Chain A
Amino acid sequence: MPLTNQLKNQHLLWRAAFGPMAENVGELEQVTQKQLFLLLQKKSAKKPDALNVATNSLDGLVKGVQDLGRMQQLTQDQKKQMRRQSVEDIKNLNLAWLSEMINSEAQLREKMSLFWHGHFASRVINIYFQQQLLNVIRENALGNFGDLLREVSKSPSMLSFLNNQQNKKQHPNENFAREVMELFTMGRGNYTEKDVKEGARAFTGWGFNLKGEFVDRPFQHDNGSKTFLGKTGNFDGDDIIDIILEQKATARFITRKIYKFFVNDEVDNEKAEWLAARFHQSNYNLGQLMNDIFLSDWFYEEKNIGTRIKSPVELMVGVRRLIPMELEKPEMQLLFQRVLGQVLFYPPNVAGWPGGKNWIDSSALMFRMRLPQILTNADEFLIKPKNDDDVMMGNEGVDKRPKVNKLNVTVDWNSVVKVFIKTDKDSLMQKVNGIVLQTKSSIDPGVLKRYIDNTSREGFIKSSIIELMSTPEYQLC
């Protein structure tokens, strides 16, 4: 496939956003990458509206209970009710965010947020905590990494997930301090076990109340002197974060991870070093880092285009952006996430989703290749995802039987067909191909011809899009 302007713009849209939309894919032949990126940036400049889906019934339950100590006042049944309600509300949070990814103009912000959602991975079944963490991430996604890190580190979601509530002067718990260094900032090899111990001492006392507010509990805090990464002082958690941010290793680690997510699994060391140095110099300005990447020439090199395996969420959202549709049962998207191994708000562990080839095994690939047909009513959904006992909480019978489901989707094919209004019949196939696939390899036209509906122009466009999406190539962007 030649590196056309259209292809490069689509490349930008797949990486910095969730792929081209039917409504604007026609304009991509003309604009430059710079114009397009500046537009993406502009649309993401505004502070996002916070997502709020927590059911009111929970508020009543929580009201009056000021801190976790008094959580004991809730009966066993109330606690259970709270958890069940949280599970339901988190499903709604998932769908609400998914809808932002599909429809929001702030594509760059939502895409960055998805990256941070996997980076600051927290798996707690508490709707308030999850919602608050997501909003912290969405607000700071393109801002300053130091601010983001500090706010995440003070979020009840992360403090509870990594047991810092139990990190007390008398009994330090190292989990939080360790993951902040290993997974959130510097990565292995840039600190010692001693630094973990000393860091944990500095974080003692950091906790939260039931209203989901950060609290610094002075009586739990270890006021003694600590030596951390070569510095000695009476450090608290904020000091530790400051010292971590001073380290070039932090800028390097974050930059490499961003490079892997947005550019290529194979990191180009020279480019990454250049980016990291500028990121560090800018005092962790994420907006600038993303500029550096998306305004560079090397980002649009052939080796970076069509070579990344889409995550399940990117795959689903991408289909829904190119083909506008309304789902009668949007909750089916949660089942797809489960079958494909990426349920938002349920990362496998604090290290997040490993990504890349890890998304792909036989059954996952077969399902991915059927997804476009399922989403457009051409196929049934007959797969039973694995149960999650943390979510089911001993509730037998949920999802016991395999689901037999037609999705009942209303597809707005008109918007899609309109894209090709000026394309003559002979170049139609090539044009559809150029919009759907980003890869160098393509589907054998002879094979494709046998599966495409030739009876009408509309049928031709519809069937060729679906067939091209039902391929290994479409898994890549």
Chain B
Amino acid sequence: MLLKRKEFLQIGSLATASMMMPRFLKAFEKTTWVPAGNKVMVVLQFSGGNDGLNTVIPVRNDIYYKVRPHLGIQKDKALQLTDDAAINPALPFFKELFDEGNLGIMNNVGYPNPDRSHFRSMDIWQTASDSNQYVTTGWLGRYLDNQCSGCDKPTQALEIDDVLSLALKGNDLKGLALKDPKKLYNTSNERYFKEINATYEHGEAAADYLYKTLSETLSSADYIYQQSRRHPSLQSYPPTELGKNLKTISSLIMSDINTKVYYVSLGSFDTHVNQEIQQKRLFTELNDAVSAFVKDLKSNNRFQDVTIMTFSEFGRRVAQNASGGTDHGTANNMFFIGGGLKKKGLLNAMPDLNDLNEGDLKHTVDFKSVYATLLHNWLNANDEKILGKKYEIMDFV
């Protein structure tokens, strides 16, 4: 009965949306909805270059303590994961996740010829390009191009932000950025926009493209807002930016929205100075928000359908600098969180501090291989087409 009512509501809201659509677009409209219970990926970007070595700490490595006499986190302060590894003391919930088998840690992830500019390296991570290649589409944008040709709404990938990242921009399709559903609804609910959209006839290709985007925005804004109100989260979240953003994501995951990918950022991790205080503040925000989010998913029985992936544009140098911080480095670790992980715990060896490249970690895993794995195993997508190349598929999801 309930399902039927939902279906009815969907058809209802679709009908309203389609009345607002310019006539030339109506032919393309599809009525397929992705059923609930379906797998979702949350990408959590650590902007600024998070220091991986003080995130997952090699507590039995003398070199670590030698090159980080002040910044190194002592074994008794860190939270023990294994004999060799411990996690930053500001991440107690991650320790909990690790112990219950819902956290995977991949070490030494990077790419050949690493770039140390924030922007450029982020560009490389977001477009999944080689470091001497300039690509104008993002890997998740190309996922949309590939999976959703014919989809009538750009809600398959949502970024919780005012501005859309390159990662979610494809050739034909782009994800949608929203700070929160209400705000998006209010901005796009202007009658004037709706009316000019509804009366648009047909024009040059460029004008058609703009109206298609406008039309999708208006109907998606409606759709997202309606969906977000359907199952308001009962879980309490910390009043931080990430807390609010994850709460928004959770309210959408609990709905019947067709979103497969959520994208959200936290920063800035650019800790050249006074790293300890800054990283601790950000990790506390991270820890508390993720803790609420996971509890929320678990109590709604959705944790097994969600995988969170974290990444940063680069790690930091192995040695501390003279200002109580660290400078831009190379390879880094990534977290995977979820109830559906196939492998958990430390997924590979800790960084080899004996084998550095001019003071920087050497990568052993190409991040594109991580993307390929998530695309192929988790999102059931054609990784080779999306990434332009076949990368090794791993087995953590």
> A361-B177, A365-B213, A394-B273 known; A386 and B163 CB under 8 Å?
yes
Q: Quick check: B123 and A348 within 8 Å, CB to CB?
A: yes
Q: Quick check: B210 and A360 within 8 Å, CB to CB?
A: yes
Residues of B within 8 A of A358 (CB): 136, 169
Most chain A Cβ neighbours within 10 Å, of B174, B201, B268:
B268
Residues of A within 8 A of B154 (CB): 362
Q: Quick check: B272 and A394 within 8 Å, CB to CB?
A: yes
CB distance from A469 to the nearest CB of B (A): 12
Segment from B214-222, B227-235, B363-371 that makes contact with A: B214-222
CB distance from B148 to the nearest CB of A (A): 15
A447, CB-defined interface residue at 8 Å: yes
CB distance from A462 to the nearest CB of B (A): 15
B203, CB-defined interface residue at 8 Å: yes
Q: Quick check: B176 and A123 within 8 Å, CB to CB?
A: no
Q: Quick check: B270 and A389 within 8 Å, CB to CB?
A: yes
Q: Quick check: B169 and A389 within 8 Å, CB to CB?
A: no
Contact of A362 among B195, B209, B213 (CB under 8 A): B213
A11, CB-defined interface residue at 8 Å: no
> A363-B164, A365-B210 known; A470 and B268 CB under 8 Å?
no
B117, CB-defined interface residue at 8 Å: yes
Please give 12 more A-B residue pairs, beta carbons under 8 A apart, in addition to A362-B176, A444-B195: A306-B204, A349-B120, A361-B169, A362-B174, A365-B214, A387-B267, A396-B278, A440-B203, A447-B192, A470-B192, A470-B193, A476-B204
Nearest residue in B to A443 (C-beta to C-beta)?
Answer: B196
Q: How far is the CA of A303 from the CA of B134 in the complex (A)?
A: 30
Q: How far is the CA of A103 from the CA of B358 in the complex (A)?
A: 50
> A443-B196, A444-B199, A451-B192 known; A476 and B206 CB under 8 Å?
yes
Q: Quick check: B196 and A362 within 8 Å, CB to CB?
A: no
B32, CB-defined interface residue at 8 Å: no
Residues of A within 8 A of B134 (CB): 349-351
Residues of A within 8 A of B123 (CB): 348-349
Q: Would you list which residues of chain B between 161 and 176 have a CB under 8 Å from chain A? A: 161-166, 168-169, 174-176
Q: How far is the CA of A364 from the CA of B165 in the complex (A)?
A: 11
Residues of A within 8 A of B168 (CB): 361
Residues of A within 8 A of B47 (CB): 387, 389
Q: Would you list which residues of chain B between 37 and 51 have a CB under 8 Å from chain A? A: 47-49
Residues of A within 8 A of B117 (CB): 123, 390
Q: Would you list which residues of chain B between 123 and 170 have a CB under 8 Å from chain A? A: 123, 132, 134, 136, 154, 161-166, 168-169
B242, CB-defined interface residue at 8 Å: no
> A362-B217, A366-B188 known; A476 and B136 CB under 8 Å?
no
Residues of A within 8 A of B178 (CB): 363
Residues of A within 8 A of B214 (CB): 365, 369, 472
Q: Quick check: A365 and B267 within 8 Å, CB to CB?
A: no
Contact of B202 among A339, A370, A390, A441 (CB under 8 A): A441
Q: Quick check: B203 and A362 within 8 Å, CB to CB?
A: no
A383, CB-defined interface residue at 8 Å: yes
Q: Quick check: A388 and B201 within 8 Å, CB to CB?
A: no
> Shortest 10 CB-CB distances between A and B: which pairs?
A441-B203, A472-B210, A444-B199, A389-B118, A351-B134, A354-B136, A362-B217, A394-B272, A394-B270, A361-B174
Q: Would you list which residues of chain A between 43 and 77 have a CB under 8 Å from chain B? A: 76
Residues of B within 8 A of A473 (CB): 203, 207, 210
B322, CB-defined interface residue at 8 Å: yes
A243, CB-defined interface residue at 8 Å: no
Most chain B Cβ neighbours within 10 Å, of A357, A384, A385, A389:
A389
B205, CB-defined interface residue at 8 Å: yes
Q: Quick check: A364 and B164 within 8 Å, CB to CB?
A: yes
Q: Quick check: A357 and B162 within 8 Å, CB to CB?
A: no
B323, CB-defined interface residue at 8 Å: yes
CB distance from B202 to the nearest CB of A (A): 7
Q: Quick check: B165 and A386 within 8 Å, CB to CB?
A: yes
Residues of B within 8 A of A338 (CB): 163
Q: Would you list which residues of chain A between 171 and 216 have a CB under 8 Å from chain B? A: 175, 178
Q: How far is the CA of A441 from the CA of B213 in the complex (A)?
A: 16
Residues of A within 8 A of B216 (CB): 362
Residues of A within 8 A of B169 (CB): 358, 361
Q: Quick check: B205 and A307 within 8 Å, CB to CB?
A: yes
Q: Would you list which residues of chain A between 344 and 378 have a CB under 8 Å from chain B? A: 346, 348-351, 354, 357-358, 360-366, 369-370
Q: Would you list which residues of chain B between 59 and 95 have a CB under 8 Å from chain A? A: none
Most chain A Cβ neighbours within 10 Å, of B134, B168, B178, B217:
B134
> A387-B267, A447-B199 known; A357 and B163 CB under 8 Å?
no
Nearest residue in A to B129 (C-beta to C-beta)?
Answer: A349
Residues of B within 8 A of A394 (CB): 48, 268, 270-273, 325
Q: How far is the CA of A365 from the CA of B175 in the complex (A)?
A: 13
Q: How far is the CA of A357 from the CA of B212 in the complex (A)?
A: 12
- Could you give 19 example pairs across A and B, Cβ below 8 Å? A306-B207, A309-B206, A309-B210, A351-B136, A357-B209, A360-B209, A361-B164, A362-B176, A363-B178, A365-B214, A370-B187, A384-B179, A389-B267, A390-B119, A394-B48, A439-B204, A441-B200, A447-B192, A476-B204
B396, CB-defined interface residue at 8 Å: no
Residues of B within 8 A of A446 (CB): 199
Q: How far is the CA of A387 from the CA of B169 in the complex (A)?
A: 18
Bitwise interface map of A from 391 to 402 toward B, beta carbon under 8 Å scored 1, else 0 = 011101000001
Q: How far is the CA of A439 from the CA of B207 in the complex (A)?
A: 8
Q: Quick check: B270 and A472 within 8 Å, CB to CB?
A: no
Contact of A339 among B118, B163, B165, B192 (CB under 8 A): B163
Q: How far is the CA of A374 from the CA of B267 in the complex (A)?
A: 29
CB distance from B217 to the nearest CB of A (A): 4
Residues of A within 8 A of B336 (CB): none
Residues of B within 8 A of A366 (CB): 187-188, 217
Residues of B within 8 A of A365 (CB): 210, 213-214, 217
Q: Quick check: B162 and A467 within 8 Å, CB to CB?
A: no
Q: Quick check: B163 and A362 within 8 Å, CB to CB?
A: no
Q: Quick check: A387 and B217 within 8 Å, CB to CB?
A: no
A119, CB-defined interface residue at 8 Å: no
> A390-B117, A394-B273, A467-B192 known; A383 and B206 CB under 8 Å?
no
Q: Quick check: A363 and B162 within 8 Å, CB to CB?
A: yes
Contact of A178 among B132, B195, B204, B205 (CB under 8 A): B132
Q: Quick check: A363 and B270 within 8 Å, CB to CB?
A: no
B211, CB-defined interface residue at 8 Å: yes
Bitwise interface map of A from 274 to 299 toward B, beta carbon under 8 Å scored 1, else 0 = 00000000000000000000000000
Residues of A within 8 A of B273 (CB): 394
Q: How far is the CA of A439 from the CA of B202 in the complex (A)?
A: 11
A220, CB-defined interface residue at 8 Å: no
CB distance from A260 to the nearest CB of B (A): 13
Nearest residue in B to A444 (C-beta to C-beta)?
Answer: B199
